A and B are shown apart, each in its own frame.
Chain A
Amino acid sequence: MTTLSLENADRRKAWGFVAPALVWTVAFFVVPFLFMAAMSLWSRQGREIVRAWNLDNYLRFFGENALLKGLSNSLEITLTVTVLSVLLAYPLAWIIAERVPKRFQRTALILAILPFWTSYVVRSYSWLLVLTKNGVINQALLGIGIISEPLEIASTRTATVIGFVHFFVMLLTLTIYANLVQLSPNYRRAAADLGANGLQTFWHVILPLTLPGIMTGAFLTFVLCIGDYITPQILGGNNELVLPQIIMLQIGRRADLPMASALSIVLMLAVTLAYALCARWLKIDRV
């Protein structure tokens, strides 16, 4: 019925709706990204950025232990944080979805993510004050008598991980909860009818059904965590550097944008790898 000309008109209209967003994304995301990728092949010599194409920055990255260690620190911390956050958030999301009466669920959920709204920089700094030798945790533990010497947590990797986990537990509780409440109670009833006990039902039915939600949340955690500068900078005490800290050093102290770009590409590859590994469970556009 529809004629060719009508289709064309429709298509033009459709482009009118879609184009602004696409143009914006291409202009301010794709082009800068490609430009940065190109720049990573240049190099900084003395005070000049030399536009000669080579792999020097990447060779330097793989040749210098301090830089390579930045990547491995980043990966170790990010994986620890992701796993810990999922393990801590899942039960909380489950409790809110299953044990809290329906009409209080929303309130409980909002409570669980409320500290989101303290400023992010302030939150890390606040953790530093909580964890320091004279901080609340040590004072409380010393007071009760559980420990006799203050724990050395501040300015360690543990502090960085705690700061991160705090943030991502909130995020993951939200995404996992959203996933859990979408499950139809029929699944559980069916499993019970088939003679499965609670644990079996969870393991064989609920967990597989919520896996996409978990993976999506975990992937978001991975992306946000591996690219973060503030938390390790404030809580880590410079006792080890993660990749974003090294990138910021290149920008801040050396004005070495080519090297910073190369390191960013490495960071990007790590994220892409993570994406490839969990791609089959991911539904990014359903977040």
Chain B
Amino acid sequence: MLRHRLSTLLAVIYAAALFGFIFLPVAVLVLFSFQDGRLPVPPFNGFSLQWYEAIFADRKLMAALLNSLIVATASSAVACLLGFMAAYGFARYKLPGSVLQRGLLIAPMTVSYLIIALGLLTVLNTLGIGLSLWTVGIGHVVINLPLCFAIIYSSMGDHHVNIERAARDLGASDWKVMLLVTAPMLMPSILASFFLSVTFSWDEFIIAFLLSRFNVTLPVEIWSLLRSGLNPKTNAIGSVVFLASIALLAILELTLFRKKNTP
């Protein structure tokens, strides 16, 4: 009994320490976004909203925010669509060499983003194709497609087959079955993979940095913000992104993913 209590105590201490470690930079970030003055380090001079005003007045930063939103949702939508179709194809049909092909689809996951970016950069450069948000989006589909495919494929169990067959027997075409029967059944994992890849794309730096030009995504803009003058604007934009993501997460958690918990 004593041992159990002792181990519980240890567990609490350990968890508290690790949560402290995990939240330390975020807490500091948010605190100093309210700093009254240019230096985002102690001492805390007083509470001020000036840096929040500054970021909302920063046209480039706001444009980057919108760019990120567009690139993240569009590239994730493409990645999900392609991933879902491929998962459906592999799960429902026996294709020759399918192990190899599945391996190919997963392969980008095992390669550093820097290498993916550099590969695309060398090709685009040689072909003389200009860099834009489109090239960033293409890169993001490359990194997110394996993820979407893996998640959706692993949730595609055999028990769905009967329902699909029933639909087909009732005269539905393959595409109809996929869109109207399979997709709704797999919606939780499709959504999960969509939001996961939105998260990755939203936060991705190196591909966005190397494959973009004037219209940049938020992480790239934050990077140049960091290099163009010391002030707590970086803290403010970081905090805004954080709070907005938490809000979104909370909404998703309370609506979409709630169902998954209660069978």
Do A and B bind? yes
The stretch of B45-53, B157-165, B183-191, B198-206 in contact with A is B198-206
The chain B residue sitting closest to A286, CB to CB, is B154
Q: Is the CB of A18 within 8 A of B106?
A: no
Contact of B145 among A25, A88, A119, A219 (CB under 8 A): A25
Q: Is B226 in contact with chain A by the CB < 8 A criterion?
A: yes
Q: Enumerate chain A residues within 8 angstroms of B24, measured Cβ to Cβ.
A: 130, 136
Q: Is the CB of B42 within 8 A of A135?
A: yes
Q: Is the CB of A15 within 8 A of B223?
A: no
Q: Is the CB of B246 within 8 A of A18?
A: no
Q: Enumerate chain B residues within 8 angstroms of A10, measured Cβ to Cβ.
A: 93
Q: Is the CB of A13 within 8 A of B174?
A: yes
Q: Is the CB of A264 within 8 A of B206?
A: no
Q: Is A58 in contact with chain B by the CB < 8 A criterion?
A: no
Contact of A117 among B139, B234, B246 (CB under 8 A): B246
Contact of B118 among A115, A126, A261 (CB under 8 A): A261
Most A C-beta atoms less than 10 A away, residue of B42, B102, B108: B42
Q: Enumerate chain A residues within 8 angstroms of B86, measured Cβ to Cβ.
A: 17-18, 20-22
Q: Is B18 in contact with chain A by the CB < 8 A criterion?
A: yes
Q: How far is the CB of A4 from chain B (nearest CB, A)?
A: 14
The chain A residue sitting closest to B253, CB to CB, is A110
Our count of residue pairs bridging A and B at CB distance below 8 angstroms stands at 255
Q: Is the CB of A24 within 8 A of B82?
A: yes
Contacting A at CB under 8 A, from B1-56, are: 8, 11, 14-15, 18-19, 21-26, 28-29, 32, 40-42
Q: How far is the CB of A260 from chain B (nearest CB, A)?
A: 6
Q: Is the CB of A122 within 8 A of B241?
A: yes
Q: How far is the CB of B129 from chain A (nearest CB, A)?
A: 12
In the complex the two chains form, what is the Cα distance from A124 to B6 in whole Å? 36
In the complex the two chains form, what is the Cα distance from A26 to B107 in whole Å? 11
Q: Is the CB of B114 within 8 A of A247?
A: yes
Contacts A17-B86, A92-B14, A110-B253 given: A28-B203 contact, CB under 8 Å?
A: no
Q: Is the CB of A169 within 8 A of B25?
A: no
**Residues in B lying within 8 Å of A, measured CB to CB:** 8, 11, 14-15, 18-19, 21-26, 28-29, 32, 40-42, 82-83, 85-86, 88-90, 92-93, 95, 101-102, 104-116, 118-123, 125-126, 138-139, 141-142, 145, 147, 149-151, 153-154, 174, 178, 199, 203, 205-206, 210, 218-219, 222-223, 226, 234-235, 237-239, 241-242, 245-246, 249, 253, 261
